[in-house]
Chain A
Amino acid sequence: MNVDVILILVVLTNLRLLGSSRLGASIRTVAVQGFLIGLLPLLAPNRDALWKILILSIGSMALKGVVFPRLLLRALREADVRREVEPFVGSVMSLLVGIVALGASFWIGQRLALPSPTTSALLVPVALSSILIGLFLIVSRKKAVSQVLGFLVLENGIFTFGVGLVQELSLLVELGVLLDVFVAVFVMGIIIFHISRAFDHLDTDRLSTLKD
């Protein structure tokens, strides 16, 4: 497995997220993506402290590949929501938006002046496209669960960016980010549960009709 193949698989998981209509399948896709992203630090060259890389890699794989999907699937089961994504933008349009975002990321990625060479020429464009697609997922989906997934994709993009750009891996920063994401997903999981308790549904767009 080289870095390019993993990055292209990450892009494919992003596109699958845009196109899929089932929440369960989306959660599993994000799990696969988290696992793939966790492999990236292992493949980055000339890093001296092996244990740091191992901690980061195994930590992020365990969190994003196992813990988050478990939490979200559990939230999905207990909140007893409908298993469909219910997007504002249909899946075909979402795919087209995704490919436009990808093209834009490649265009920007070539023109971006970077302080140091990256491990793969694909790294910056894929990271940018993950960030854009994550943002798009957050704004274009109704369900709170999908918005958590968009947030995770966004974070995966930032993580990819960090792995590629920072020569000296700052373990503390990356672990801090992972912890933040963990807390965010945990809190979101609880909130999802409580929203569905209080309102019988998880459509966040209906929150705007609340009055005091």
Chain B
Amino acid sequence: MHFAPIVHVLLGLTFAPLLLGIINRTKALFAGRRGQPLLQLYYDVWKLLRKGAVYSRTTTWVFRAGPIVGLAAVLAAMTLVPFGKMPALVAFPGDLILFAYLLGLMRFFTVIAALDTGSSFEGMGASREVQFSALAEPALLLALVAVARRTGSISLSGMFDKISLDVWQAAGPSLALVAAALLVVLLCENARIPVDDPNTHLELTMIHEVMVLDHGGPDFAFIVYGAALKLWVLGLLLIGIVLPIQSGNAWIGIAVSICGMVALGVVIGIIESTMARLRLVRVPQLLVGAGVLGALALILVLR
């Protein structure tokens, strides 16, 4: 089934914005509202794509390159992640490092595009983003290294292929720790609630939104779509570890993974509805805590 990896990527490209719709619907349900349509993000992206962009005269090519490089990086990262136990489009030993640093490249270009505007607010957001992601990156890598050590494979596709119910029975606690660390990383990297509130538009408290204030039109569409893809990609990692279902059939694998993603969206919605955003000084503690969970998982599998 050599066409299957292409189907996976196409599914991701199609359904990634829907995941955000599911999160928003869950939050609306908790708040007793009807909420925005499930397909709202598609409308937003379509609306933005038809508009023109305005560029400040203080900005340079860096500002224009930011969204494009960001989207390209997350698309490349998407080809590396397996979906429903089938290997990814691109798989080679050590691709987990490339995966982590493609996300890093995306973040780097978002940050320098924000700095390029010369706005003090954007500089503040960029500083926070860099500080928090510097703490989230060790957590992500430690968690992935723990899985790599347990499964004996250093390629994302090989790792996720080998996680089965047997592995969960043998090393359940360490895999659960890995999943917890990845969930925190996912919430931080996608600016979800314990770290950042995606709804707030108060510059003093927000992180991701403040960095993209000056982007407009198609550039902003790329950023919004890229953020949705990033959530999808990190969600796939988490789902790959939590749902160890081995089935020979590619379609069953796809169906299980789609259900897993929908469940993940609901879980994130519940987390956002029941928790308050942490104070900014508390966020590093949370991220270091995630790193410590990853390190503990690694110690347990190294034993």
Chains A and B are bound partners: yes
A interface list, Cβ under 8 A from B: 4-5, 8, 11-12, 15, 19, 91-92, 95-96, 98-99, 102-103, 106, 110, 121-122, 125
A11 to B288, CA, bound (A): 16
Contacts of A12 in B (CB 8 A): 296
Shortest C-beta distance, B184 to chain A (Å), equals 13
B interface residues with partner A (beta carbon < 8 Å): 172-173, 177, 284-285, 288-289, 292, 295-296, 299-300, 302-303
Distance in Å: Cβ of B292 to nearest Cβ of chain A: 5
B173–A106 contact, CB under 8 A?
no
Q: Are B173 and A4 in contact (CB under 8 A)?
A: yes
> Given the complex, which residues of A lie within 8 Å of B299, measured CB to CB?
99, 102-103, 106
Known interface pairs A5-B173, A11-B296, A102-B296; A96-B303 also in contact (CB < 8 Å):
no
With the chains together, A149 CA to B172 CA distance in Å?
30
* A121 and B285 form a contact (CB under 8 A): no
* Contact between chains at B292 and A95 (CB < 8 Å): yes
Q: Are B288 and A15 in contact (CB under 8 A)?
A: no
Residues from chain B with a CB closer than 8 A to the CB of A103 are 295, 299
Other A-B contacts than A122-B300, A122-B303, 14 sampled, CB-CB below 8 A, are A12-B296, A15-B292, A15-B296, A19-B292, A95-B289, A95-B292, A96-B288, A99-B292, A99-B299, A102-B296, A103-B295, A103-B299, A106-B302, A125-B303
When C-beta atoms are compared, the residue in chain B nearest to A102 turns out to be B299
Q: Give the shortest distance, in Å, between A206 (CB) and chain B (any CB).
A: 26
Question: Closest approach, in angstroms, between the C-beta of B180 and any C-beta of chain A?
Answer: 10
Name the residue of chain B whose CB is nearest to the CB of A5: B173
Q: How far is the CB of B1 from chain A (nearest CB, A)?
A: 38
12 A-B contact pairs sorted by A residue (CB < 8 Å): A4-B173, A11-B296, A12-B296, A15-B296, A19-B289, A91-B285, A92-B285, A96-B288, A99-B299, A102-B296, A103-B295, A106-B302
Contacts of B300 in A (CB 8 A): 8, 122
On whether the beta carbons of B173 and A8 are closer than 8 Å, the reply is yes
Residues of chain B with a CB closer than 8 A to A102's CB: 296, 299
**Chain B residues closer than 8 Å to A121, beta-carbon distance:** 303
Which A-chain residue is minimally distant from B172 (CB atoms)? A5
Closest B residue by C-beta to A90: B285
5 tightest Cβ-Cβ pairs between the two chains A and B: A8-B173, A92-B288, A99-B295, A95-B292, A99-B292
**Residues of chain B lying within 8 A (CB to CB) of residue A5:** 172-173
